[in-house]
Amino acid sequence: MEYLVRVVGYGTRRRRYIASCLGIVDLIVALIAIPTLIEKFMNFWQHKGHVNRVYHFLECLRMMRLLKILQYIREVQLLSFALRKDFRFIAVFLFGVFVVVLMLGSCLYAAEGGQKLMNSIPAGMWWATVTICTVGYGDIIPTTVLGKLVASLVMLIGYGLIAIPTLIGTFQTHRALSQALEQSQEPAEENLVVLPPRASDCDSSGLVRPAAGFALLEEAIWTWSRKNHKEPPPESVLEHWFCAAAAGLCPGHGFTAQVHRSYVSNSSCEFLISLYCSKCYAQEKPDDILAQGGVRYSLRTHGPT
């Protein structure tokens, strides 16, 4: 698999890599591993008990359909948006943990010299995972001096990894506060726009239709851009989210939208929109929010204006 990834990743230099000394060595190593993989696959297939266990495990996955119920809960939608927004941080963190587990598990296997309970690298990775997560089952215990030194290092790394999500949260909070400070320097009236009522936006009881969410968000963004003489957002939408509340729009009145723009990076900007009833907002009832949403655009060649 690694050899194929290298061949594909080299692109136009693919032939040079295949003919190089490093490419030939990688190919030989990959070919040597093929018989072992075939043997393990045949052994797995011949043991029907393993196949039955896999089948029953896959059957249990049908219960994951219950998760579809969560999509109707507003807090879950906000949590899902937050996870998608910070996906890169989470992915890098988990990949780093995997690399540490692989490295330390291999080191412990080499240090223990193939003991009865530490007879493979996956067994070492299992022990490293349990130790880093501060679970400590105690089913595998290092016995050699070198193994105990590696174990001590793994324990210290485990405590250090616990602090990383906290640091990420602190960084995100600092960035949010910085963006809020920048937005607070603008006059408040510039962030408010009025949207006329449309029959397709609400149902008979005045509740905002989720299907009309994206259209309302874009209308608020374009109206805000024209009002403040800002460059309209690009057409490439990276992601968007919309959550409607239980409050309804007063009959015959439109929306008052509160728009906040922030630049997530040099290549993307994000608009956060809160929708209120124009009548209720004029009566100083800003807590009666009708809906909230956000749209993230790709700037590409566009820059902050």
**For residue 33, is it within any domain?**
no
Half-sphere exposure of 146 (CA within 13 A, CB side): 9
Rounded to the nearest 10 degrees, what angle do helices 74-85 and 87-112 cross at? Answer: 70
Q: Are residues 294 and 193 in the same domain?
A: yes
| Domain closes at, from 119, 151, 185 | 185
State the pTM of this model: 0.45
Count of domains forming the chain: 2
Q: What pLDDT tens digit does each residue of the chain (305 aa) get?
A: 667 777 777 666 777 777 877 778 777 877 777 777 777 777 766 665 555 666 666 667 667 666 766 766 777 777 777 777 778 878 888 888 899 889 988 888 888 876 777 788 888 888 888 888 878 777 788 888 888 888 888 888 888 887 777 777 777 677 766 766 665 554 444 588 888 877 788 887 778 888 888 888 888 888 888 887 777 776 688 888 888 877 778 887 888 888 888 877 777 788 888 888 888 777 665 567 888 888 888 876 544 44
| Domain closes at, from 185, 203, 224 | 185
CATH code of the domain covering residue 101: 1.10.287.70
Question: Where in the sequence is the domain holding 126, given as residue range(s)?
Answer: 86-185
Could you please report the per-residue DSSP string of 160-210?
HHHHHHHHHHHHHHHHHHHHHHHHHTS-GGGGEEEE---TTTB-TTSPBPG
Using an 8 Å Cβ cutoff, are 278 and 223 in contact?
A: no
Using an 8 Å Cβ cutoff, are 225 and 231 in contact?
A: yes
